[in-house]
């Protein structure tokens, strides 16, 4: 369950639960469920649903939240997805205990429910093909037409349905349909399909079944079998609620959960449809479901998101009934806020520029004390080696600086963080290309620790690493995956890819980081001073590979947005 110290949220769903507890509607029980279909990896939208379902259950002493795989569509589902979903849920900090269920475990029960419906005259086997069914369904303006199979006898329907199960018919020959109302203004009620023939091996039931139940039929009954009290889903299922209730009423189930809809999470510059995310993976536009640019939990995790930051984000966005788009800057803000507290500060130079300190003794090395956190003394200090040759960030130097550039320039003095003041004396260039290869500087031995005894000031403090002690590493810098805030807004299943950001990933090699990072394990978070928060993606001592992913920059776009709004 979520940390007990996370702030309590109240939302309209919680109010419904409180009312139900007061009126003893469900005999004091609160049972929710998170019901993923294992046809892809979890994304940040799922995190909202997870935090909501597990979070609500955890607020009540008797509260329970089930994990149930809605695995009725074997064409698209597999074990890899099941494992990744379990892994991500655990990582997010939620525990389903022994409450792990699969809709496929109910196949026999669901089949019996279908038989009951047929016996009641409430379901029939229909031999129209898919096109005909669509045609007969009618439109929003016009009522549908009865299928010629609608009036078959119970005996005929039972016989056909049993033979469907026995594998006597080709895929698509027949479907079992609920017998409701072909003139209903709600299209979902116009005799929806409840079973179809599909000869596909299922990842759990193998070849036992060649008919599979449809989502609407499966979902309400699975909820009921598990004794769910509040079945929370996203708004697009609002029109399905009458059907949810119809199945449970007709079958007179002991437990009739209440379906409650909330607005799904949409995030700017992001797509959330698993179908589309799968395209990015299959077409190798990204490196996999866990590519750090993906909005998946696995991707965010590899980028360096913490579980706390994601849970905190879900809490802040709240739960409502109105669809909206959340600014991705808020998600980044939540990560920054968390890492600001947790991530130790270190120095790393992404684009190194060699600097020789001419008056520093050649064979001297000093171990200088550096703070691991500027405002949290409990995080302690470390020693950083300083020597005659160091690296500075290439763009911290300008030969011909414009007015507001206060960093290093010819003749100018600056402070090296935790070290000395240095002054740039000479710029060495490659004779052929004219590019800067090295700076020659001098240091003032009196300024050790970063202050001058005569009180003179400098305008910049720069990060650096000692060349001979630095560790070579590779760094991935990420940007938004899409250039448009709403890449899904205009159109088809394909054209969201027109809005991919060609600069969503930059890889820098030859970066130099301070030696304290030598043993940083995979999964380690740190702040490279002045540059952002970084995450160790790979640290393989055997082949000297150290790879960092930038989790987020230090610039807080969200804080700016908020400030702007306050004005």
Counting contacts by CB under 6 A, is residue 264 touching ligand ATP? yes
* Smaller CB separation from ligand ATP, 103 or 511: 103
Residue 210 C-beta: closest distance to ligand ATP, Å? 24
What per-residue string of b and e applies to 28-44 under the rule 16 or more CB within 10 Å gives b? ebbbbbbbbbbbbbbbb
Contacts of 422 (CB under 8 A, 6+ apart): 355, 357, 408, 413, 414, 416, 441, 442, 443, 444
Selected from 14, 32, 49, 152, the binder of ligand ATP by CB under 6 A is 49
Catalytic residue flag (residue 274) = yes
Counting contacts by CB under 6 A, is residue 273 touching ligand ATP? yes
Residue 558 C-beta: closest distance to ligand ATP, Å? 20
Counting contacts by CB under 6 A, is residue 265 touching ligand ATP? yes
Distance CA 507, CA 343 (A): 22
Residue 172 C-beta: closest distance to ligand ATP, Å? 23
Residue 290 C-beta: closest distance to ligand ATP, Å? 17
Contact criterion met (CB below 8 Å) for 484 and 496:
no
Selected from 21, 182, 200, 272, the binder of ligand ATP by CB under 6 A is 272
* Smaller CB separation from ligand ATP, 36 or 344: 36
* Smaller CB separation from ligand ATP, 265 or 408: 265
Taking residues 7 to 46 in sequence order and writing x for each that binds ligand ATP by CB under 6 A, - otherwise, the string is: ----------------------------xxx-------xx
Of 271-279, 345-353, 413-421, 483-491, which segment contacts ligand ATP by CB under 6 A?
A: 271-279
Instruction: Kindly report the three-state secondary structure assignment for every residue of 361-416.
Output: CCCCCEEEEEECCCCCHHHCEEEEEECCEEEEEHHHECCCCCCCCCCECCCCEEEE
Q: How many residues of this chain bind ligand ATP (CB under 6 A)?
A: 14
Catalytic residue flag (residue 190) = no
Residue with tokens 């018919």: 169
Residue 168 backbone dihedrals phi, psi, to 5 degrees:
-80, -15
Residue with tokens 């409650």: 260
Catalytic residue, from 33, 190, 196, 274: name it. 274
* Smaller CB separation from ligand ATP, 386 or 482: 482
* Smaller CB separation from ligand ATP, 158 or 235: 235
Taking residues 307 to 346 in sequence order and writing x for each that binds ligand ATP by CB under 6 A, - otherwise, the string is: ----------------------------------------
Residue 329 backbone dihedrals phi, psi, to 5 degrees:
-60, -30
**Residue 191 backbone zone (phi > 0: left; psi -120 to 50: alpha; other: beta):** left
Contact criterion met (CB below 8 Å) for 48 and 94:
no
Catalytic residue flag (residue 264) = yes
Taking residues 216 to 235 in sequence order and writing x for each that binds ligand ATP by CB under 6 A, - otherwise, the string is: -----------------xx-
Nearest to 525, CA basis, from 192, 220, 302: 302
Instruction: Kindly report the three-state secondary structure assignment for every residue of 12-58.
Output: HHHHHHHHHHHHCCCCCCCEEEECCCCCCCCEHHHHHHHHHHHHHHH
Residue 228 C-beta: closest distance to ligand ATP, Å? 12
Pairing of strands 545-552, 381-386: unpaired
Catalytic residue, from 122, 145, 198, 264: name it. 264
Structure tokens at 289: 């479901």
Catalytic residue, from 18, 25, 37, 474: name it. 37
Displacement of CA 466 from its chain's centroid (Å): 37
Chain residues in the site for ligand ATP (CB under 6 A): 35-37, 45-46, 48-49, 233-234, 264-265, 272-274
Residues designated as active site:
37, 264, 274
């Amino acid at each position: 369950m979520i940390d007990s110290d996370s702030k309590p949220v109240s939302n309209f769903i919680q109010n419904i639960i409180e009312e139900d507890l007061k009126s003893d509607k469900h005999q004091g029980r609160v049972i929710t469920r998170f019901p993923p279909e294992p046809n892809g990896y979890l994304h940040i939208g799922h995190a909202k649903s997870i935090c909501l379902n597990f979070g609500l259950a955890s607020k009540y002493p008797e509260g329970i939240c089930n994990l149930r795989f809605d695995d009725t569509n074997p064409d698209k589902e597999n074990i890899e997805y099941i494992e990744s979903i379990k892994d991500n849920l655990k990582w997010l900090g939620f525990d389903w205990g022994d409450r792990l269920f699969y809709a496929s475990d109910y196949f026999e029960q669901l089949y019996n429910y279908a038989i009951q419906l047929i016996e009641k005259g409430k379901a029939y086997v229909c031999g129209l093909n898919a096109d005909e069914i669509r045609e007969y369904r009618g439109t929003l303006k016009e009522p549908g037409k009865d299928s010629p199979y609608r009036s078959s006898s119970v005996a005929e329907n039972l016989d056909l349905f049993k033979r469907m199960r026995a594998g006597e018919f080709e895929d698509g020959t027949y479907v079992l349909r609920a017998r409701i109302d072909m003139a209903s203004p709600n299209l979902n009620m116009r005799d929806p399909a409840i079973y179809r023939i599909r000869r596909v091996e299922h990842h759990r039931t193998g070849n036992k079944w060649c008919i599979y139940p449809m989502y609407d039929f499966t979902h309400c009954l699975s909820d009921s079998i598990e004794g769910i009290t509040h079945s929370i889903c996203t708004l697009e299922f609002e029109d399905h609620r009458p059907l949810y209730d119809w199945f449970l009423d007709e079958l007179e189930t002991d437990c009739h959960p209440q379906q409650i809809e909330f607005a799904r999470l949409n995030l700017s510059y992001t797509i959330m449809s698993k179908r589309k995310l799968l395209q990015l993976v299959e077409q190798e536009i990204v490196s996999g479901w866990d590519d750090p640019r993906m909005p998946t939990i696995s991707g965010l995790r590899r980028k360096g998101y913490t579980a706390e930051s994601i849970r905190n984000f879900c809490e802040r966005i709240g739960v409502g009934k109105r669809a909206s788009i959340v600014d991705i800057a808020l998600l980044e803000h939540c990560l920054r806020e968390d890492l600001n507290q947790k991530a130790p500060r270190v120095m790393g130079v992404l684009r190194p520029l060699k600097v020789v300190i001419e008056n520093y003794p050649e064979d001297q090395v000093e171990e200088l004390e550096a703070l691991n956190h500027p405002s949290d003394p409990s995080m302690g200090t470390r020693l950083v080696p300083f020597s005659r040759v160091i690296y500075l960030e290439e763009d911290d130097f300008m030969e011909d600086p414009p007015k507001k550039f206060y960093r290093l320039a010819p003749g100018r003095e600056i402070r090296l963080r935790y070290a000395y003041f240095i002054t740039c004396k000479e710029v060495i260039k490659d004779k052929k290309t004219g590019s800067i290869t090295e700076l020659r500087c001098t240091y003032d031995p009196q300024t050790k620790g970063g202050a001058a005894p005569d009180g003179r000031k400098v305008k910049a403090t720069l990060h650096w690493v000692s060349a001979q002690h630095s560790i070579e590493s590779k760094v991935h810098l990420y940007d938004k995956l899409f250039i448009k805030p709403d890449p899904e807004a205009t159109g088809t299943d394909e054209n969201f890819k027109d809005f991919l950001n060609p600069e969503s990933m930059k890889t820098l090699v030859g970066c130099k980081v301070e030696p304290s990072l030598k043993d940083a394990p995979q999964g380690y978070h740190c702040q490279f001073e002045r540059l952002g928060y970084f995450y160790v993606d790979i640290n393989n001592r055997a082949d000297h590979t150290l790879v960092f992913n930038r989790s987020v920059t230090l610039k807080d776009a969200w804080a700016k947005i908020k400030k702007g709004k306050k004005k």
